[in-house]
């Protein structure tokens, strides 16, 4: 408990908000690593996921590659890329590692969103004369968007946690305090930085969860009827009365 209080005291100390290594600077670096990596991963993974979901081809290959990418050790991947790309390209190596780790979740969300759509919905769109391009953008993309955002949520959380390793190769972020405090035995600093990373992850997840809920198409949301078990008593009685023979 004392260590936790020390960590909170470290976070709110006035010197944390001054100088080139202030919390604002390190937080900005951490957000930059996360946002830019997830953006690049989204640009790469979404078209591929949409192609797989729309055509139904290549799913097994995508699942296999995604599973292999998820199994990659983050720390080892960053160090490997630094060695391969050279120490002068450490930012590119770190971003490449973050993008590789973010792609599987976004790819899975993209094609799973299409696969979750009922086939009769797609058949109905074809029956009214829609082209494949119209079906893609007017039916599949809107209906699959919530699951895609769910994949982006997972990717963002993974990158937020992994971005702490960027400090090990001298790139900053909130991990800077963790790696600085480790050799000095500054456990309050290490715990304080870990708390900030956790809070940042929670805030990002909550924001994306809200977006995921807002992007549910209005027609789908309107068609969701509450369960009779969870509905208020008055509404439940009305439903039961209206359905009675």
- What band does 219 get if pLDDT is binned at 50, 70 and 90? low
Q: What is the CATH number of domain 2-243?
A: 1.10.3720.10
- Whole-number average pLDDT of the chain: 85
Q: pLDDT value at position 75?
A: 84
Backbone φ, ψ for residue 216 (5° rounding): -70, 125
- Per residue in 118-151, pLDDT (tens digit) is 889 888 988 888 888 888 888 899 999 999 999 9
| C-alpha dihedral (223, 224, 230, 231), degrees to nearest 10 | -20
Q: Which residue has the higher pLDDT, 184 or 39?
A: 39
Q: Which residue has the higher pLDDT, 18 or 245?
A: 18
- Is pLDDT of 103 > 70? yes
DSSP string, 38-80: HHHHHHHHHHHHHHHHHH--SHHHHHHHHHHHHTS-HHHHHHH
Predicted structure pTM score = 0.83
- Is pLDDT of 69 > 90? no
- Is pLDDT of 198 > 80? yes
- Is pLDDT of 239 > 90? no
- What band does 18 get if pLDDT is binned at 50, 70 and 90? confident
- What band does 1 get if pLDDT is binned at 50, 70 and 90? low
Domain ranges in the chain? Answer: 2-243
Mean pLDDT to the nearest integer, 12-37: 91
HSE-up of residue 88 (Cα within 13 Å, Cβ side): 0
Q: pLDDT value at position 243?
A: 45
């Amino acid at each position: 408990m004392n260590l936790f209080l020390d960590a909170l005291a470290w976070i709110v100390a006035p010197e944390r908000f001054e100088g080139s290594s202030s919390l604002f600077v390190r937080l900005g670096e951490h957000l930059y690593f996360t946002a830019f990596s997830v953006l690049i991963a989204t640009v790469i993974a979404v078209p591929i996921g949409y192609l797989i979901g729309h055509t139904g081809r290549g799913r097994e290959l995508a699942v296999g590659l995604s599973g292999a990418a998820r199994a990659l050790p983050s720390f080892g991947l960053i160090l490997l890329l630094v060695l391969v790309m050279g120490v002068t390209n450490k930012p590119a190596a770190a971003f490449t590692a973050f993008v590789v780790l973010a792609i599987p979740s976004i790819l899975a969300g993209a094609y799973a969103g299409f696969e979750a759509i009922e086939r009769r919905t797609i058949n109905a769109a074809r029956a009214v004369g829609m082209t494949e391009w119209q079906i893609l953008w007017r039916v599949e993309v809107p209906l699959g968007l919530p699951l895609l955002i769910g994949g982006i949520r997972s990717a963002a959380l993974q990158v937020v946690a992994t971005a702490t390793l960027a400090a090990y190769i001298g790139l900053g972020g909130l991990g800077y305090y963790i790696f600085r405090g480790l050799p000095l035995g500054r456990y309050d600093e290490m715990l304080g930085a870990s708390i900030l990373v956790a809070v940042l992850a929670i805030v990002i997840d909550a924001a994306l969860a809200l977006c995921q809920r807002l992007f549910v198409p209005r027609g789908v949301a309107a068609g969701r009827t509450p369960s009779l078990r969870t509905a208020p008593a008055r509404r439940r009685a009305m439903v039961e009365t209206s359905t009675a023979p």
